[in-house]
Structure 1
């Protein structure tokens, strides 16, 4: 078995799409006879606190489902104070730098980007050690930071980030991009760079669709995931109009907007919004069997971004109301995965909500079967990995 290392800022037991997709990549490569190991920080996401099992430790080695995981020390934080956040980023970055510099590592290494600083330091060290660097790009930074107004164009931070970005694209052996837009962007910066499309398909190992009838006549729509600025779930709660509609909106997750969302729901019971908090992945998947529609929002159209939730819910046979723009719209439309509302346009969102409300629940459940069958055919992680292996990516 060939050894292969994955460097990631997230890994279970942390929750969220980033940790889930890295775990699925690790497990799937392991199934295809790679000896996979992972280097990541001590588990701390999304609360910004080291999980109790890892507190007081500098380095933890563990085996999770056959994957060897090495967790390095971090000073975690979700503080809005820029200096505190930078200290947190640099704490793990510094430890990772010396770990990669002095630790014996496999010939083939997958580096997750973003975070941009971590991928830069990883590529910097590994390029000197003559490793095969497979750069897995899930979002385009600093471009996404500009679109989210988290970075000022032309600032010192922006210029440094552009240098980091160009460096990692140039020095990676090859690039995996989660969207065609990412591949287009990388090849504009480094013409001729070997790039491969790698969608964040799930691997639920579900062969049959399960629909749970709970007797609720209302159409149950949900959002599950990070409650952060990029998703804009608080604004969705504030501006969506469910008055007179046959729809309930349920929220599962945690993040920076959690407290504000809970307060808003308590103050507006008439809006038919229910908050459930963060659930374990297995429990969440069981609960979603009784839901009808998934809301997949982004606050603004982010070039290169394709939310993995599109594929996740497709594999569960749940149609999506996609409210994020970009390449995701094309995927939803071409695969008949649900409805599309124009990103950032709440008038468009409310018109679509009205359309969904007027759809019979039985019709939506029939639609679930079509979505499930479509996903089984087109969003197959195993076939995608086999194809990439055949092409010499890993």
Structure 2
């Protein structure tokens, strides 16, 4: 049995695509006869507060499904203040260095990036000719930060670019969740070994149910993080509800109060907010809707929203409004409709063109079958296992 360590900033009981992705990676490797350890902060995302069960602890170790999970101290914060966010990342980096100094580290280590500084700490202190370092890149930072308006091209940005290049250079293998990520890595290090490793979900999809024929409106649903990048508040303000549509929203995040305030101000608009729902319950709830909308406020190079794969596995038709490689995934696999990124007129035009008659039990089943055969986590894990 080969020992392997996974270093990540997100892990269950935290919610979101990042924690789910790493959990399924750890579980999948454990099932393939790897002895998996996970190193992660005390759970705090997305609230920015250490979860109640872990309050007052500096370190917590548990064994779950055979996986040893060590949770380290972090100064938790989701503040918009860049200094406080830097302190939060550095605090976890310091905890990692402390752990490295007093514990035996396996010869194979998978490091999650971003955050860049956390990945840099791991790549810097664990680099060794005798150790294989695998960098799992889910988003391209600092490029994504620049496109989101979080960074400006100044000295700090150049420092982050240097850190990014260091991380790629020291990696023996780079995993990327999109082809754009791998293209970017190869443009910097032409001979770097890479592997496309998508954020495919792993769950037992509930049975698809037919829509209620008495429903005359098309029910759009969004479920996930209500952050700046997703732009759900702007979506509420820009949708043309004369197109006989409803918008149903699940989740939590920075824009939650704005969304709730908008609904309160315009109570006659068919917008419904339900808050955060556990993933297993959400999968069942989502089956009552007609179309899942996946928006991004700005097109982010390298990003492919994991919701594409999750909704497809549920058999939900997708309305994609984010640009980039995600458009190719939806188009090539016939998962739904594409609206030009950032163009709300085009979005409303596409919505107006959708016919209820198109949303049938058989069309949903076809999407589900495509997802099952194409977005195959087992095949992906088999390929990765052979490279470790």
**Cα separation, partners in 2 of 1:212 and 1:204, compared to 1, 3 Å:** farther
> In 2, Cα distance between the equivalents of 1:65 and 1:273?
40
> In 1, Cα distance between the equivalents of 2:70 and 2:163?
25
TM-score of the pair, normalised by structure 1:
0.95
| Partner-residue secondary structure (3-state), 1:304 | coil
Q: Gaps spanning 5+ residues in structure 1: where?
A: none
Given that residues 151 and 158 in structure 1 are in contact (C-alpha distance below 8 angstroms), is that contact kept between their aligned partners in structure 2?
yes
- Alignment of 1:377 with 2:376, yes or no, is no
Residue 247 (structure 1) aligned to one of 241, 245, 248: 245
> In 2, Cα distance between the equivalents of 1:387 and 1:86?
36
**Pairwise mapping of residues 191-206 of structure 1 onto structure 2 (< 5 A)?**
191-206=190-205
Cα deviations across residues 53-102 of structure 1 (Å, max 9, x unaligned)? Answer: 00010000112233211110111111122222222121111111221233
Tell me whether 117-126 or 78-87 shows the greater mean CA deviation.
Answer: 78-87
Q: Gaps spanning 5+ residues in structure 2: where?
A: none
- Alignment of 1:287 with 2:299, yes or no, is no
**Pairwise mapping of residues 25-44 of structure 1 onto structure 2 (< 5 A)?**
25-44=25-44
Tell me whether 286-295 or 375-384 shows the greater mean CA deviation.
Answer: 286-295
| Partner-residue secondary structure (3-state), 2:366 | helix
Given that residues 318 and 335 in structure 2 are in contact (C-alpha distance below 8 angstroms), is that contact kept between their aligned partners in structure 1?
yes
Cα deviations across residues 136-168 of structure 1 (Å, max 9, x unaligned)? Answer: 001100000110110001x12201101100000
Cα deviations across residues 249-282 of structure 1 (Å, max 9, x unaligned)? Answer: 1111111111111111111123211111111111
What residue number does 2:352 align with? 354
**Pairwise mapping of residues 304-383 of structure 1 onto structure 2 (< 5 A)?**
304-356=302-354, 358-360=355-357, 363-383=359-379
What residue number does 1:238 align with? 237
RMSD, matched Cα? 1.5
What residue number does 1:190 align with? 189
**Pairwise mapping of residues 45-124 of structure 1 onto structure 2 (< 5 A)?**
45-124=45-124
> In 2, Cα distance between the equivalents of 1:159 and 1:210?
49
Tell me whether 214-223 or 156-165 shows the greater mean CA deviation.
Answer: 214-223
**Cα separation, partners in 2 of 1:78 and 1:214, compared to 1, 3 Å:** farther
| Partner-residue secondary structure (3-state), 2:127 | helix
| Partner-residue secondary structure (3-state), 1:269 | coil
Given that residues 208 and 364 in structure 2 are in contact (C-alpha distance below 8 angstroms), is that contact kept between their aligned partners in structure 1?
no
**Pairwise mapping of residues 209-224 of structure 1 onto structure 2 (< 5 A)?**
209-211=207-209, 213=211, 217=215, 218-224=217-223
**Cα separation, partners in 2 of 1:12 and 1:354, compared to 1, 3 Å:** same
Given that residues 6 and 38 in structure 2 are in contact (C-alpha distance below 8 angstroms), is that contact kept between their aligned partners in structure 1?
yes
**Cα separation, partners in 2 of 1:101 and 1:212, compared to 1, 3 Å:** farther
| Partner-residue secondary structure (3-state), 2:356 | coil
What residue number does 2:179 align with? 180
Q: Tell me the number of residue pairs that the alignment of Structure 1 and Structure 2 aligns.
A: 387
- Aligned-residue offset at 1:212: 6.1
**Cα separation, partners in 2 of 1:66 and 1:220, compared to 1, 3 Å:** farther
> In 2, Cα distance between the equivalents of 1:38 and 1:355?
47
> In 2, Cα distance between the equivalents of 1:48 and 1:317?
33
| Partner-residue secondary structure (3-state), 1:270 | coil
- Aligned-residue offset at 1:129: 7.4
